C-alpha cells in the first residue's frame, strides 16, 4: 500500500497574464507561492519517501515551498525534464485571447485540449503522454510497489497525461479535465497499484 500525491505548481506569472507558457521557465506569482504553502499544509499529515518535479522553476519552487511547509525538506528530490510542461511551440509567450482572435476560439481550444493535435511547432498531449508515462513506469512505479509514498509536482498538461494513464481516462474525456494549481490530488494505492481511493485535498 502506498500514497501518490500529484500537484500542479502554484500560479505562475504567465498564468496570471493569460499567456501560453509551455516549457518557458517562468516563475511563480505571490499567489502561486501562497498556493504552494497551502498545498504543503494540506499534506502535512502524510510522509513521503521521494519527491519528483520537472526542471522548470515554477514546479521546482513550488515543491521547495511545499516540502518546507510539510517540514520534510530532507527527502530526496529528483528533477527530470520528462515531467516538464508540454511545449506550445510558436504560441509560447503569446496572450491566449489575442491568439483566439487571430485563429478562432475553437482552434485554440483544440490546441489546448485535444489529445492528438499539436499547436504550431509544439507538442500534443499525446507527445507529452509518450514522454511522461514511460518515465513514470520505469522510475516511480517500482518505488510505489515497494510501499514508498511519492510526491510529484509538475504541470497542467504533464499531469493531465499522467491522469489518463492512472485513471484510464479516454482521449475524449481528457479534453474536459483541467487540473487546478496548487491543489494536491491524492491516490491511495494497493500493492498492485490499483487505486483504492482518489481525491483532491
Q: What is the CATH number of the domain that holds 152?
A: 3.40.50.1240
**What domain count does the chain have?**
1
Q: What per-residue confidence (pLDDT) applies to 198?
A: 97
Q: What per-residue confidence (pLDDT) applies to 128?
A: 97
Mean pLDDT of the 35-56 span:
98
Taking the model in full, what pTM does it have?
0.96
Nearest Cα to Cα of residue 88 among 63, 116, 119: 119
Q: What per-residue confidence (pLDDT) applies to 39?
A: 98
Give the pLDDT confidence of 115-139 residue by residue, as tens digits. Answer: 999 999 999 999 999 999 999 999 9
Q: What per-residue confidence (pLDDT) applies to 31?
A: 97
Residue 25: band (very low, low, confident or very high) from pLDDT cuts 50, 70, 90 = very high
Contact 118, 124 (CB under 8 A): yes
Q: What per-residue confidence (pLDDT) applies to 87?
A: 97
Mean pLDDT of the 70-94 span:
97
Q: Which domain holds residue 73?
A: 2-200
Q: How far apart are CA 87 and CA 123, in angstroms?
A: 5
Mean pLDDT of the 190-200 span:
96
Q: How far apart are CA 6 and CA 39, in angstroms?
A: 10
131 Cβ partners below 8 Å, 6+ apart? 82, 123, 161
Q: What per-residue confidence (pLDDT) applies to 88?
A: 97
Residue-averaged pLDDT of the chain: 97
Would you name the residues annotated as active-site residues? 9, 85
Q: What per-residue confidence (pLDDT) applies to 153?
A: 98
Amino acid at each position: 500500500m502506498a500514497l501518490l500525491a500529484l500537484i500542479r505548481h502554484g500560479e505562475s506569472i504567465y498564468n496570471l497574464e493569460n499567456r501560453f507558457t509551455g516549457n518557458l521557465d517562468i516563475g511563480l506569482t505571490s499567489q502561486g507561492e501562497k498556493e504552494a504553502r497551502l498545498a504543503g499544509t494540506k499534506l502535512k499529515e502524510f510522509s513521503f519517501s521521494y519527491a519528483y518535479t520537472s526542471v522548470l522553476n515554477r514546479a521546482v519552487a513550488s515543491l521547495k515551498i511545499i516540502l518546507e511547509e510539510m517540514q520534510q525538506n530532507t527527502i530526496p528530490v529528483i528533477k527530470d525534464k520528462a515531467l516538464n510542461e508540454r511545449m506550445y511551440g510558436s504560441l509560447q509567450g503569446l496572450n491566449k485571447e489575442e491568439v483566439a482572435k487571430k485563429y478562432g476560439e475553437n482552434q485554440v481550444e483544440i490546441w489546448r485540449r485535444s489529445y492528438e493535435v499539436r499547436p504550431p511547432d509544439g507538442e500534443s498531449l499525446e507527445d507529452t503522454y509518450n514522454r511522461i508515462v514511460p518515465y513514470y513506469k520505469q522510475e516511480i512505479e517500482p518505488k510505489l510497489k515497494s510501499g514508498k509514498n511519492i510526491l510529484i509536482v509538475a504541470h497542467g498538461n504533464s499531469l493531465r497525461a499522467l491522469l489518463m494513464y492512472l485513471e484510464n481516462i479516454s482521449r475524449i474525456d481528457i479534453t474536459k479535465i483541467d487540473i487546478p494549481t496548487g491543489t494536491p490530488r491524492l491516490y491511495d494505492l494497493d500493492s498492485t497499484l490499483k487505486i483504492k481511493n482518489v481525491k483532491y485535498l
